[in-house]
């Protein structure tokens, strides 16, 4: 226990301080009742996001893109603050969590090259990750084609996963296999990175990442089946080998379920069967999975701070909070009523209940 306190004394205190700046339930109460963007931005400037929104003009045509850049720039700085408070082994593991953001920028690059977009305009869609990654994303936008991008990235960790999807991309002219290759690589890197942690931290981090992998697999399987009409064989190829689905049999049962009801009965853990029992469609399944993921993060935040779960759960919560703010602003720009926007939010309620 003394060793754990030593490793996390400074980092744990730093994250506990940062956690206090997350938006509270009453903040969302006011944000959802803002009359217009001016009111919404004005309220946010009274929170920890005041410096982030300083000078942001919601009237500009690129207001939404500029907001995203500012918010994710804030997330990058938060990553740095958390990482600097940890010892080397734990800090390196957090570097793997950044892969998720890097993959999103690589998808922006892939889409721009695929569609032949102007590199300067496409660069406005990039997340500002200069402080977290050595990759030069604006330079990638100037490669001119996806095969040339592959050559550019060949010597990096991103080269092999992209190369695996290149043949199918060239046959079908679809970015889907390339983007899925990135996602599968990110989750595999995180799962393999668990081996670098102490035994106690490995168990805690595996619980969080395993829950995330489970939620992702169940969500993907439903969407691939009901929205995209993928055959089971293809769905199977795109499922994560992690969490409760490490075994081929578990992934097979999920991929080959004919409908939502059958899928629920085939799930590998009773907790998921109980959670989803009676769900009528994919949308209800996803809503319950969102609640489960939020509750999992909350439990991790409630543990003693001398463990890897605290920084991990906090950073996941921070990302979800940014998603919420972008959803609120987008809803305002589209003139959506609050009752349409509220169900899309990842929202912490009083008493650790979630909606």
CA 268, CA 126: separation in Å to the nearest integer? 38
pLDDT per residue as tens, the chain (355 positions):
545 555 776 777 888 899 999 999 899 999 999 988 889 889 999 999 999 988 888 788 888 888 889 999 999 999 999 998 888 899 999 999 999 999 999 999 999 999 999 999 999 999 999 999 999 999 999 999 999 999 999 999 999 999 999 999 999 999 999 999 999 999 999 999 999 999 999 999 999 999 999 999 999 999 999 999 999 999 999 999 999 999 999 999 999 999 999 999 999 999 999 999 999 899 999 999 999 999 999 999 888 777 899 999 999 999 999 999 999 988 988 889 999 999 889 876 544 433 3
Backbone angles phi, psi at 348, to 5 degrees: -80, 125
CA 16, CA 19: separation in Å to the nearest integer? 5
Tell me what pLDDT residue 66 has.
87
Residue pair 66/60 in contact (Cβ under 8 Å)? The answer is: yes
Positive or negative, the CA dihedral 97, 206, 288, 299 is negative
Region of 278 please: left (phi>0), alpha (psi -120 to 50) or beta. Answer: left
Tell me what pLDDT residue 352 has.
42
Tell me what pLDDT residue 353 has.
38
| Residue 256 falls inside a structural domain | yes
Question: What are the distances in angstroms from CA 139 to CA 42, 109, 115, 178?
Answer: 36, 10, 17, 19
| Residue 250 falls inside a structural domain | yes
Residue pair 266/260 in contact (Cβ under 8 Å)? The answer is: no
CA 99, CA 190: separation in Å to the nearest integer? 9
| Residue 186 falls inside a structural domain | no
| Residue 98 falls inside a structural domain | no
| Residue 114 falls inside a structural domain | no
| Residue 210 falls inside a structural domain | yes
| Residue 10 falls inside a structural domain | no
How many structural domains comprise the chain?
A: 1
Tell me what pLDDT residue 64 has.
81
Q: Which residue has the tokens 């980092």?
A: 11
- Please give the structure tokens belonging to residue 257: 């379920």
| Residue 251 falls inside a structural domain | yes
Q: Which residues of 139-152 are buried (b: 16+ CB within 10 A; e: fewer)?
A: ebbbbeebeebbeb
**Listed residue (111, 125, 132, 186) closest to 326, CA to CA:** 125
* Ordered DSSP codes for 231-296: -HHHHHHTS-S-GGG-SHHHHHHHHT-SSHHHHHHT-SSHHHHHHHTT--SHHHHHHHHHHHHHHH
Give the range of the structural domain holding residue 269, as residue numbers without chain letter: 199-307
Tell me what pLDDT residue 348 has.
63
Tell me what pLDDT residue 355 has.
35
């Amino acid at each position: 226990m003394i060793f754990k306190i030593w490793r996390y004394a400074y980092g744990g205190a730093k994250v506990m301080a940062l956690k206090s700046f997350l938006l509270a339930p009453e903040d969302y109460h006011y944000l959802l009742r803002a009359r217009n963007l001016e009111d919404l931005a004005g309220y946010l400037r009274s929170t920890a996001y005041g410096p982030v929104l300083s000078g942001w003009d919601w009237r500009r045509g690129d207001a939404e893109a500029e907001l995203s850049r500012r918010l994710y720039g804030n997330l990058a700085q938060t990553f740095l603050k958390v990482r600097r408070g940890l010892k080397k082994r734990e800090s390196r593991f957090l570097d793997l969590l950044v892969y998720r953001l890097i993959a999103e920028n690589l998808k922006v690059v892939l889409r721009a090259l695929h569609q032949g977009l102007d590199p300067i305009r496409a660069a406005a869609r990039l997340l500002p990750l200069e402080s977290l990654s050595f990759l030069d994303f604006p330079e990638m936008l100037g490669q001119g084609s996806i095969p040339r991008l592959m050559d550019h990235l060949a010597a990096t960790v991103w080269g092999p996963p992209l190369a695996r999807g290149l043949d199918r991309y060239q046959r079908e002219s679809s970015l889907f296999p390339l983007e899925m290759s990135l996602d599968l690589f990110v989750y595999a890197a995180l799962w393999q990175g668990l081996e670098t942690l102490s035994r106690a931290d490995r168990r805690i981090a595996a619980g969080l990442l395993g829950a995330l992998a489970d939620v992702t697999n169940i969500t993907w399987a439903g969407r691939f089946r009901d929205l995209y009409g993928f055959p089971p064989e293809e769905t199977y190829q795109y499922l994560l080998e992690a969490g409760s689905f490490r075994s081929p049999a578990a992934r097979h049962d999920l991929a080959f379920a004919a409908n939502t009801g059958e899928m629920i009965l085939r799930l590998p853990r009773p907790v998921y069967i109980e959670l989803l029992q009676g769900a009528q469609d994919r949308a209800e399944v996803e809503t319950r999975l969102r609640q489960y993921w939020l509750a999992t993060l909350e439990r991790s935040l409630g543990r003693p701070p001398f463990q890897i779960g605290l920084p991990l759960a906090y950073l996941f919560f921070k990302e979800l909070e940014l998603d919420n703010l972008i959803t609120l602003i987008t809803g305002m720009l589209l003139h959506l009523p609050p009752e349409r926007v509220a169900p899309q939010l990842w929202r912490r309620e009083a008493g650790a209940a979630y909606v």
